[in-house]
Amino acid sequence: MLLQTQSTTIRPLTTAHLAQTMTLLGLTSFELYQKIETELASNPALELTAERVCPHCRRPLADSNPCPICTRPSNSNPNEPIVYVSSREDFLPSKYTSSESEISEEGLTPDSEDLPTYVLRQIAPDLDPDDHFIAAHILTSLDDDGLLRTPLAEIAHYHHVPISRIEDVIHLIQHSDPLGVGSQTPQEALLVQLEILAETTTIPPFTAKAIQEGMDLLSRRQYSELGHKLHLPLSNVKEIANFISDNLNPYPARAHWGDVRQGSSANPDVYYHPDIVITSQGESEVTHLMVEVISPLAGRLRINPLFREAIHDAPQEKAEQWQEDLDRASLLVKCLQQRNNTLVRLMQRLAVIQRQFILEGDSELAPITRASLAEELGVHESTISRAVASKAVQLPTGRMVPLSKFFDRSLHIRTALLEIIAKESKPLTDIQIAKILDKQGYQVARRTVAKYRAMEGILPAHLRSKNKQNIR
């Protein structure tokens, strides 16, 4: 394996060293930024050097290694990705909103973890700063479906504000992507989506009414009764039902995270900060991948040499304090290096294994486990787990995905499934889908097909029509 980061030979590990490395590894670049910032402010032994820039390409460099792009041998293997630590200015966390830290604490599942942050970024520009707390509270209270099950009164009481104000914030949240998040019921979510959709599409008459008044009948598919209630012929009711199942999603969070496209209709001010950025260079056969592990600092963290000098003739009463500062500082620097080193090695390997996925998309994702990678790299499994958890990657397409997606065991099958359903001329049952998948080389039980379908938010065959339009 070429291109290692030269500088870090691993020294004898103290337990403190180990513990801190572990901690740092699990942090996102934003959290890292916070940590270093406070340390920098309180510890005189640390200093941040001026940013180092590659003399050739003017690329900012975050470690002491030579510029990986300019020093790279021209005959290098194109499959060998360039991985390095970068401090690109446009990803520096100093630009992030400060409300961030409050959001990501609750014990959410990894998949939904980023939803609150994602939504908050969208609404932040329109949000009264005083309401940030409320928004954060609401967003972290969402269940896995993106619905808010907590009574509004409870939230209002907690923040000592009138319910109407909570409702205003929710209104804002509901109208961001995924549409309808933060609704209290599936019904409400549908109505929000319907409202937006009405601007661009024609909607069967009485759809809103059907949702409002006949939700239970609708979900139970008791169409004839519903028709009776609304005084509509059965054909109209079926039309409404089909429209809803084709265009609306009662559980806003279900199939949406991961589909996040940047820049589309989302607010341009919205900042989604990756911890790792992958870009591709060149075209066709000789595409090179460049992987940047984002360093949250413009410049390099090191021990202040003056401080190191000064400590020799420190006044008696300060000596102990200073020594402690120095130790802490050097520990942090070392651990930081090690964190970066681990991440670089991890990405080095991942970029090779998942090259196809990065370039081609979901269907090419190789199903690998953290454990197998840990073995290859010769590190403990938990190291990989930590490194992978809660990190966001920006792919060359601009898509943001959680790093954990690189370890998704079933994604490739799910995309195959998605494709089958997209192409179907008439709704296929789970068993039929299972058979087709089997022909394609994916052996899955019929029951599993059903689960994947649910994961993707696709309705069962009998209430699916061939109309393959999505929300928006």
Partner DNA sequence: CTATGGCACGGATT
Partner DNA sequence: AATCCGTGCCATAG
Q: Which is nearer to DNA, 300 or 405 (CB)?
A: 405
C-beta atoms surrounding 345 within 10 Å: 19
Q: Which is nearer to DNA, 266 or 389 (CB)?
A: 389
Work out the burial of residue 203: count CB atoms within 10 Å of its CB; fewer than 13 is exposed, 13-18 middle, 19 or more buried.
middle
Q: Is 381 in the site for DNA (CB under 7 A)?
A: yes
- From residue 182, alpha-carbon distances to 56, 110, 146, 236, 250 in Å are 49, 19, 6, 30, 11
Q: Is 222 in the site for DNA (CB under 7 A)?
A: yes
> Whole-number minimum distance, CB 414 to DNA, in Å?
9
Q: Which is nearer to DNA, 99 or 410 (CB)?
A: 410
Strand partners, 84: 292
Q: Is 234 in the site for DNA (CB under 7 A)?
A: no
> Whole-number minimum distance, CB 20 to DNA, in Å?
20
* CA–CA gap between residue 450 and residue 444 (Å, rounded): 10
- From residue 436, alpha-carbon distances to 202, 207, 309, 425, 432 in Å are 35, 35, 72, 14, 6
Q: Which is nearer to DNA, 16 or 431 (CB)?
A: 431
- Restricting to residues 71-110, which ones interact with DNA according to CB under 7 A? 109
Q: Which is nearer to DNA, 221 or 261 (CB)?
A: 221
Angle at which helix 186-197 crosses helix 163-174, to 10 degrees, equals: 60
Q: Is 251 in the site for DNA (CB under 7 A)?
A: no
Q: Is 385 in the site for DNA (CB under 7 A)?
A: yes
Strand partners, 400: 394
> Whole-number minimum distance, CB 62 to DNA, in Å?
28
Number of residues that bind DNA (CB under 7 A): 29
* CA–CA gap between residue 207 and residue 299 (Å, rounded): 57
Going residue by residue from 275 to 304, which x/- string records binding to DNA, judged by CB under 7 A? ------------------------------
Look at residues 472, 459, 451 and name the one whose alpha carbon lies nearest to residue 424.
Answer: 459
Strand partners, 442: none
Rg of the chain in Å (alpha carbons): 26
Q: Is 8 in the site for DNA (CB under 7 A)?
A: no
Candidate segments 7-15, 127-135, 149-157, 446-454, binder of DNA by CB under 7 A: 446-454
Which helix or strand (DSSP H or E) is residue 121 part of?
A: helix 110-123
Q: How far apart are the two ends of the chain, measured CA to CA in Å?
A: 45
Q: Is 451 in the site for DNA (CB under 7 A)?
A: yes
How many degrees, rounded to 5, is the angle at CA 354 between CA 349 and CA 355? 95
Q: Is 231 in the site for DNA (CB under 7 A)?
A: no
Q: Is 369 in the site for DNA (CB under 7 A)?
A: yes
> Whole-number minimum distance, CB 153 to DNA, in Å?
29
- Restricting to residues 48-67, which ones interact with DNA according to CB under 7 A? none
Answer yes or no: are the C-beta atoms of 225 and 231 closer than 8 Å: no
Going residue by residue from 388 to 427, which x/- string records binding to DNA, judged by CB under 7 A? -------------------x-xx-----------------
Going residue by residue from 107 to 146, which x/- string records binding to DNA, judged by CB under 7 A? --x-------------------------------------
What's the maximum distance between 2 C-alpha atoms anywhere in the chain? 93
- Taken as a whole, the chain contains a residue count of 472
Q: Is 460 in the site for DNA (CB under 7 A)?
A: yes
DSSP 179: T
* CA–CA gap between residue 401 and residue 209 (Å, rounded): 37
Going residue by residue from 420 to 439, which x/- string records binding to DNA, judged by CB under 7 A? ---------xxx--------
* CA–CA gap between residue 412 and residue 330 (Å, rounded): 44
Where along the sequence are the contacts to DNA (CB under 7 A)? Answer: 109, 220-222, 369-371, 381, 385, 407, 409-410, 429-431, 443-448, 450-451, 453-454, 459-462
